[in-house]
Amino acid sequence: MPTTAQIEIVKRTIPVLRQHGETLTRHFYARLFEHAPDVRRHFNPAHQRSGGQQRALAGAILAYAQHIDDPAALSDAIEVIAQKHASLTIQPEHYPIVGEHLLASIREVLGDAATADVLDAWAAAYDELAGVFIERERTIYAEQRAHQGWAGFTPFTIVQRERESDNIVSLYLVPADGSEPPAHLPGQYVSIRMQDADGHTAMRNYSLSNAPGAAAYRISVKREIGDGEVPGGDVSNRIHDGLAQGDRLELSPPCGAFTLELPEPDDRPLVFIAGGIGITPLISMAHAALQASPSRPVIFIQAVRHGGLRPFTRELETLAGRYPSFSLHVCFSQPRATDGVGDPSVKRGELEPADLRRWIGGWEATYYFCGPLPMMSRIDRMLETHGVAIDDRRYECFGPAQPLAARADDEGALEAHHEPTLA
């Protein structure tokens, strides 16, 4: 545990971390992968190439330094990361490796500013935080064995493959031993382990997109093609082009802290706002919410560029027909000529405050949203501006997360969902 003096030393490094944080984390990852190449499989190389992972870790280190004397402020964010680590089977022996190269990077990047006292203080701080993660992850693994029947990776078989849109395909997966998969919590994700195009072991997270308790797990994968600045997805393209019914993948048990919590009372509206592939955890939540309370108002808003990229059209329309309390609305930001023409539930354009006010009937509701970071930042600011409490604004980032603009000074700065941060 850091001493009082060491805590003060760590806090004094905050200005340096603000200025040089990304330089430090870029150096750290390069050093880590050079000296400990086996840990590379725990990271998405596309996020490394884009710089998103380095930014996420820089934000996490800064947030920890800011809250080192008030760890309770980071409890939610720590749970997010611990769940992520468990999904990738991070083990206690990984933490000393990461700590060694993080401290070496501080010394090498900061030079004379990295005095012996600074290095000792950060070593104590890292050991304290690593101990928190190790203990929480040990508990998660024990819970997985007790409630889900396995921990780590186990083989599953693809029993069905279904195209959902021009760029999304769903795989239905069951345990290879013929048993039924244990029910997941709506919003959870699994990790898959497979060989990438170069024959290297790769792990990726995908939300479970069907109702909890179904006979198979469903993951729905967007093809990431890249565009020169944003790299394409090695694994997503292999899933689209190379996997078929009967093939096997290894899965780790469902994980994740972004799960549905039904608000009280039963007539309080739930609003789901999905951007693109961000629909995957939200459609699972919608199924669960309607099954639990069929009369609760559920407003589902799906934002996509155009109709060809819209997944789960028939499934959502079936829910709208089955549950009078379920209302479905679509926003096409770049609509094709015929997309939504004449349909009052369709907005040809970006989602605006007037749309939410009209579709919800006010602002009082519990909101879950998931999608591209710019969209989520805009929605979060919109909801904050109209008086929606932070506890009623719940979101998840795919990839290495950055804090939403409206929360930049909150614990969200440490969130890193769907990509490991400290290990």
pLDDT of 295 above 80: yes
**Helix 313-322 to helix 279-292 angle, to the nearest 10 degrees?**
20
pLDDT in tens, 404-416: 544 544 433 333 3
pLDDT in tens, 39-72: 888 887 767 777 778 888 888 899 999 999 988 8
From the list 159, 285, 298, the residue with the least C-alpha distance to 210 is: 285
pTM of the model: 0.90
pLDDT over 70 percentage in the chain: 91
Q: Residue 66: CB partners within 8 Å, gap ≥ 6?
A: 11, 14, 413
DSSP state for residue 15 in the 8-state scheme: H
Contact 122, 3 (CB under 8 A): no
Place of tokens 């565009």: 227
pLDDT of 250 above 50: yes
Quick one: average pLDDT of 264-293?
96
**Please, which pLDDT band fits residue 400 given cuts at 50, 70 and 90?**
low
- Least confident residue range of 34-38, 50-54, 160-164, 419-423: 419-423
Distance CA 215, CA 199 (A): 31
Contact 396, 206 (CB under 8 A): no
- Least confident residue range of 5-9, 16-20, 334-338, 419-423: 419-423
Place of tokens 């992968």: 33
pLDDT of 164 above 50: yes
Residues labelled as active-site residues = 95, 137
What structural domains and CATH numbers belong to the chain? 4-147 (1.10.490.10), 154-251 (2.40.30.10), 270-414 (3.40.50.80)
pLDDT of 397 above 50: yes
pLDDT over 90 percentage in the chain: 75
Quick one: average pLDDT of 142-165?
95
- Which amino acid appears at position 232 of this protein? G
pLDDT of 205 above 90: yes
**CA angle, corner 265, sides to 264 and 271, nearest 5?**
70
pLDDT top residue among 206 and 70:
206
pLDDT of 232 above 90: no
Place of tokens 């990047």: 109
Largest alpha-carbon pair distance within the chain? Answer: 69
From the list 325, 264, 316, 263, the residue with the least C-alpha distance to 297 is: 325
pLDDT of 33 above 50: yes
Distance CA 252, CA 243 (A): 19
Place of tokens 């790769």: 202
pLDDT in tens, 101-110: 999 999 999 9
